[in-house]
């Protein structure tokens, strides 16, 4: 008997992610148990309670606000992408899936690409740059029709 090709589909944005599975043509998709993730969105006002500091101009008497060196939202999204990547990498090592499809909000898709190690990213067969985290499974099937025989 032929072993079915297991495809995991990650549907994510910077706040939430879930993994659904397709185990062959005509089988549709099902939720992977225990594969739902949530990230608390960090707001600027929670991190930066005060106005930015000010500096004196070296050549004149002018003063300027200092630029912030980091963006808390981007750092939070990158950290969330790394935690999802760790889960996917561990699952791939156990043989939980053969192929991986990424569906993510475009900016977060970039964080996922950066976070996935080479071995795990080799399993990625398709990417869809859309925010479908709130979509039901039947809507996901329609979106996947162009990249996967569901």
Tens-place pLDDT, residues 36-75: 999 987 666 655 556 666 677 777 777 767 666 667 788 8
d(CA 117, CA 7): 18
For the domain covering 8-48+68-144, report its CATH number.
3.30.420.60
Q: Read off the pLDDT band of 11 (50, 70, 90).
A: very high
**Domain range list for the chain:** 8-48+68-144
Q: pTM (2 decimals)? A: 0.81
Which string of b and e fits 26-64 if b means at least 16 CB within 10 Å? eeebeebeebebebeebeeeeeeeeeeeeeeeeeeeeee
Q: What is the per-residue pLDDT across 130-144, written as a single tens digit (0 to 9) for each?
A: 999 999 999 999 989
């Amino acid at each position: 008997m032929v072993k079915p090709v297991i495809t995991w589909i990650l549907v994510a944005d910077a706040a939430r992610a879930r993994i659904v599975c397709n185990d062959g043509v005509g089988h549709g998709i099902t939720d992977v148990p225990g594969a739902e993730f949530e990230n608390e969105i960090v707001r600027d006002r929670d991190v930066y309670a005060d106005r930015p500091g000010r500096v004196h101009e070296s050549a004149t008497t002018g003063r300027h606000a200092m630029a912030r060196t980091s963006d808390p939202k981007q750092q939070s999204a990158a950290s969330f992408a790394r935690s999802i990547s760790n889960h996917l990498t561990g699952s791939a090592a156990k043989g939980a899936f053969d192929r991986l499809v990424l569906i993510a909000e475009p900016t977060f898709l970039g964080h996922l690409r950066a976070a996935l190690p080479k071995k795990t990213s080799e399993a990625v067969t398709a990417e869809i740059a859309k925010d479908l985290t709130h979509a039901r499974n039947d809507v996901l099937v329609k979106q996947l029709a162009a990249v996967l025989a569901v």
